[in-house]
Chains A and B, each alone.
Chain A
């Protein structure tokens, strides 16, 4: 089974900051890597699919990159509504999720 890790587990940032979250797969997942945002009490929301494709309606300050085993989610110009937990998920083999990265207000 493919295992997913994320770093850091949590981070503290200020509005306007540029934030980068890393996701690593235990084996190559090609480009089949997705990112989700999850706020408490709400449904998780797809941000990016297939490594770098922005889901319709998602602000352009969110971007994704990477390939193989190493991927990043970048939030440029962090906004108050971006404080949430972010999960990566591979769809190359079954559907493993990363453990999440929580972005909190500094």
Chain B
């Protein structure tokens, strides 16, 4: 059973760079996309971006200029960097695996446990 475990700095100052890593246990990178999603306080879930096993990256256009997603297949990990953070980036950040099936679409499963990132001066 695939499990995701994530970690990273929880308190940042404005203009700093958010950095989170997600480790994948019990499964392969191949055939899936590896995704970052966040939930700001009091708001819904927002797709940040993803990287597939080949290293192709797709990002939310609203965040694209600040997002870097990378993959380390030797460690079975993928990472998110979000530059120039502001208070609006305060959120719980989740990593997730995106499963793709040609006939049924795609979905996120499983998810990491989440990491609260607070941006405050």
**A and B associate:** yes
Q: Are A91 and B111 in contact (CB under 8 A)?
A: no
Report the Cα distance A98→B47, complex, angstroms.
12
CB distance from A102 to the nearest CB of B (A): 12
A70 to B107, CA, bound (A): 18
Given contacts A91-B105, A92-B105, contact A43 B110 (CB under 8 A): yes
Tell me the bound Cα distance from A9 to B96 in angstroms: 25
B30 beta carbon closer than 8 Å to chain A: no
By secondary structure, the A interface counts as: loop
Chain A nearest CB: distance from B59 CB in Å? 11
B103 to chain A, nearest CB (A): 8
B contacts with A, residue count (CB < 8 A)? 21
Once A43-B110, A94-B47, A97-B46 are accepted as A-B contacts, the answer to whether A32 and B105 lie under 8 Å apart by CB is yes
Contact with A along B87-119 (1 / 0, CB 8 A): 000000010100101001111111111100000
Assuming the contacts A87-B44, A87-B45, A97-B45, asked whether A43 and B114 have C-beta atoms less than 8 A apart, the reply is yes
Interface size on A, residues (CB 8 A): 26
Given known A-B contacts A42-B113, A43-B113, A98 and B104 have beta carbons under 8 A apart: no
| A-B contacts, 24 listed (Cβ < 8 Å) | A31-B105, A32-B105, A32-B106, A34-B105, A41-B114, A42-B114, A43-B4, A43-B110, A43-B112, A44-B94, A44-B111, A50-B101, A50-B107, A87-B45, A89-B107, A91-B105, A91-B106, A91-B107, A94-B47, A95-B47, A97-B45, A99-B43, A99-B44, A100-B45
